[in-house]
Structure 1
């Protein structure tokens, strides 16, 4: 196949999307397909160092200059090309090739759903709403889609304004290898790295300050668990520097001396962190996929996560589940109590039960390999390439 891959411009400095695009690029090349990347260049974007201005100059590069470049390229491009969009957020470019063979990869629709007012935890500005509508109008011109979860597929069909001809779920694969390392060695290595005593283990969360990551819910569960349990193992929140709201909650915690924020932990220590943890506490309100769930499981770390799609799609029967954190204050106390009870249940497993849980976790993670993901994606590409 001859594949033209549309990607986010490098100057936006995204994290996960470039990894996904590179997986597609390298994976399809390894399968002997021709792949050419089309992406905007930083022409206007580089003209200013003012952050607010750079944003709008970047829009000019993406939505004025780049479409003109694509239009000229299409005039001399092969009719055999399959045009692949690495993310549905690239929707404004989809109309350029909607009458040709194409595939749009869909990750999550959280930004669009927020703009539509269906996610009360995340307010969207007026300009943000217009931008999301622009993206929606664009990907609605597409006909052929791949979603990373059943939940994402459901959202796509609810939000798409046109006719979908083909829609397939192809789960993500691990972007790099993770192994079940010795928990004792892992705790020692991580302890030396962060200068902490971690030999008794720790509860772990990993993620940023996005509303759906629910970092405050992690502290709320931990505080309730500590208040009702004899356990005293620490909580490590790995990821972004905490927000002001999260810091305020931390300062009010009676157990703040055992709550630790770890920022800028290099990738080489992430596998170690998972393997040394007693569990990953991952009570997300929503996710596009939920990478940490399979990363932790592959590392031999039991997982507690939210019992809703896609988290329960990824965790399967290997994870422990809690309800989604309620937005209203009245049911919040019950949520903390129930969630802390699940945490206590996991931590109280005996040695044989823990080994069995870890075994199931590793087996569950093996369903989400890069090869499995790329093979499924390639099959869809071939199908669309042959029928359109």
Structure 2
């Protein structure tokens, strides 16, 4: 096949999307397909250093210059070319190829749902709603879709005004290598590298400051656990530096000396963070897939996550589940104490019990094999070409 991947521009710095695109490109090239990647260049973007204006100039690069540039390229592409959109958020470009063989990869519809006021924890402004409507008007012109979870597929079908020609679920395949390391050795290594005393274990969270990651909830669970247990175990939060709200909550915490943030770490170091953790706490409000759940399990770490899809799809029977954090702060306090009981349960596991949990985790993530995922995606691509 001749495959053209439409991808987000590099200047948006969407690491997960870059990784996903690279996985698709590498996988299809290794299978002998002719592959090109099309994405906008930054022409207008660097005309200013002011963040507000950079955002809007970036839109000019993406939705004015880029379509002009590629219209001619589309016309001269061979008739057997498959146009693949690596994210449904690239919807505004879909009408350019809606009459040619095409397919869209869908990750999550959180922004779309937020724009319709379906998410209490996150509100979208007027310009954001217009932008999401533009995305919708694009991807709703498509016929073929691949979703990363059953939850994402269900959301897609709720948004589409028609039954798609093809709509499949392919769980993400590992595009990094995460393996179990000896917990003691991992903790010793991390302690020496960070200067933080971690040799007796720690709670771990991995994620950014996006609203749906619920980092405030992680801190609430930690404080509830510490208040009810005589155990001075640290909390390690890997990802972005805390935003203003989280930073303020940390400063006011009586356990602030034991709360640590790590940023800009590579996958190898992250693997050791997972392997050394006493438990991985991931109480997200929502996800498209929930990569860190699979990464933690692959690294030999027990996982506590939210009892809602798609987190439950990824965790399977191997995870410890807690309810979604209530939006009401009074109820959230009770939620944190109940979640803290689950943390204590995991930390109280006997060695043989913990080993059984970890074995189940590792067995569970075999479902997310990268080779199998690429093979399944290739088969779906071939089906799309048969339909056209």
User: TM-score, normalization: structure 2?
Assistant: 0.97
C-alpha displacement of 1:119? 1.0
Query: For residues 274 and 232 of structure 1, what CA distance do their matches in structure 2 show?
Result: 19
Could you say which residue in structure 2 is the equivalent of 1:349?
Answer: 349
Could you say which residue in structure 2 is the equivalent of 1:332?
Answer: 332
Deviation per CA, 1:252-301, whole angstroms, max 9, x where unpaired?
32222222222233333100100000110000010111111010000001
Q: Which moved more, 1:251-260 or 1:375-384?
A: 251-260
Alignment of 1:238-317 (within 5 A): 238-317=238-317
Query: For residues 241 and 61 of structure 2, what CA distance do their matches in structure 1 show?
Result: 31
Q: Which runs of 4+ in 1 moved over 4 A?
A: none
User: TM-score, normalization: structure 1?
Assistant: 0.97
* Alpha carbons 2:176, 2:267 under 8 Å: kept: no
Query: For residues 221 and 290 of structure 1, what CA distance do their matches in structure 2 show?
Result: 19
* Alpha carbons 2:107, 2:152 under 8 Å: kept: yes
Equivalenced residues, count:
388
Indicate how the Cα distance of structure 1 residues 26 and 255 shifts in structure 2: closer, same or farther if over 3 A, else same.
same
Could you say which residue in structure 2 is the equivalent of 1:29?
Answer: 29
* Alpha carbons 1:137, 1:161 under 8 Å: kept: no
Query: For residues 366 and 40 of structure 1, what CA distance do their matches in structure 2 show?
Result: 36
Could you say which residue in structure 2 is the equivalent of 1:69?
Answer: 69
Query: For residues 223 and 44 of structure 2, what CA distance do their matches in structure 1 show?
Result: 49
Q: Which moved more, 1:69-78 or 1:149-158?
A: 69-78
Query: For residues 114 and 201 of structure 2, what CA distance do their matches in structure 1 show?
Result: 37
Query: For residues 170 and 237 of structure 1, what CA distance do their matches in structure 2 show?
Result: 29
Query: For residues 371 and 194 of structure 1, what CA distance do their matches in structure 2 show?
Result: 35
Q: Which moved more, 1:23-32 or 1:120-129?
A: 120-129
C-alpha displacement of 1:48? 2.8
Could you say which residue in structure 2 is the equivalent of 1:87?
Answer: 87
Query: For residues 219 and 238 of structure 1, what CA distance do their matches in structure 2 show?
Result: 13
C-alpha displacement of 1:321? 0.3
Query: For residues 273 and 301 of structure 1, what CA distance do their matches in structure 2 show?
Result: 10
* Alpha carbons 1:25, 1:35 under 8 Å: kept: yes
Indicate how the Cα distance of structure 1 residues 57 and 376 shifts in structure 2: closer, same or farther if over 3 A, else same.
same
Q: Which moved more, 1:316-325 or 1:60-69?
A: 60-69
Deviation per CA, 1:42-100, whole angstroms, max 9, x where unpaired?
22223333322222222112111211222211221111111100000000010111111
- Any unmatched runs of 5+ in structure 1? none
Query: For residues 320 and 190 of structure 2, what CA distance do their matches in structure 1 show?
Result: 25
* Alpha carbons 1:151, 1:310 under 8 Å: kept: yes
- Any unmatched runs of 5+ in structure 2? none
Query: For residues 62 and 161 of structure 1, what CA distance do their matches in structure 2 show?
Result: 26
Q: Secondary structure at the match of 2:103?
A: strand
Cα root mean square deviation, aligned: 1.2
Alignment of 1:210-229 (within 5 A): 210-229=210-229
Q: Which moved more, 1:42-51 or 1:294-303?
A: 42-51
Query: For residues 66 and 264 of structure 2, what CA distance do their matches in structure 1 show?
Result: 34
Q: Secondary structure at the match of 2:246?
A: helix
Query: For residues 182 and 350 of structure 2, what CA distance do their matches in structure 1 show?
Result: 17
